[in-house]
Structure 1
């Protein structure tokens, strides 16, 4: 069952990698006063993301942890492969083909996909149709020429 007020935002990566855009989107989420859950469909990415969010910028980091670590419920950003929401996140980030599961606990679901990958593009199109059929409000964001985001739908 999904929360009919959960907004689903699709982010079509064309000029930047996930590693380049994810920290900024997570930072915006935290500045909004929300917690974030980053769900990956690839367990081997957990350690990479964990290290990257600590070191992506010399002058700052994003406070976060992995769901398998102690005090996961206290983390403002939590990285996981699981379907639960132990940190009470308002924003769910889906990467690497992760399944959305039940969206009722979230205000927003952000689907990030690489537009240069045919499989990821086809998966995003199928998800769009599924979310639309569920009556969820959907937005589509595409990278502009300056790597900023432009709302296209």
Structure 2
């Protein structure tokens, strides 16, 4: 069974934290489904991922193309992804389900600490994950560094 990791963004924008985690996932050999609440969010992230340095390019694609199953990182609004992800990254209040964590290495939930609705949504997701017995960790940015603030069971 995988682990749900909650990232409370208080300093860096979602694009920065996402790129860091995606780089680690690809280095491990994991495919990722980056799940957003709507296509506008995913299109914005897609554009940001193309702006990275050439030596840190993250191969990815927006869902709906002919090569979705081949994408190491697939940006999608759907609950399932044809690229067989080992990880799901949920951003901008994308819905996740505790049952899907069993088939994953990681579920990353990134949420904006300046957005009260996003924080409330993440709390609801934490409660659902831990109530279902999913191992969960809560990380927050403290003075620029990530610190683990809580861990379930």
CA distance in 2, matches of 1:149, 1:29: 17
Match of 2:23 among 27, 31, 45: 27
Unaligned 5+ runs, structure 1: none
Match of 1:149 among 143, 146, 153: 146
**What residue number does 2:114 align with?**
116
**What residue number does 1:11 align with?**
7
**What residue number does 2:89 align with?**
93
The structural deviation recorded for 1:50 is 1.4
CA distance in 2, matches of 1:36, 1:128: 21
Q: Please list, as runs of the form range in 1=range in 2, the aligned pairs for 1:99-110 lying within 5 A after superposition.
A: 99-101=95-97, 102-103=99-100, 104-110=102-108
Match of 2:123 among 122, 125, 136: 125
The structural deviation recorded for 1:55 is 1.1
**What residue number does 2:138 align with?**
140
Instruction: Give the CA RMSD over aligned residues.
Output: 1.3
TM-score normalized with structure 2 length: 0.91
SS in 2 for 1:78: strand
The structural deviation recorded for 1:43 is 1.7
> 1:48 and 2:44 equivalent?
yes
The structural deviation recorded for 1:59 is 4.0
TM-score normalized with structure 1 length: 0.91
Unaligned 5+ runs, structure 2: none
CA distance in 2, matches of 1:113, 1:57: 25
> 1:71 and 2:67 equivalent?
yes
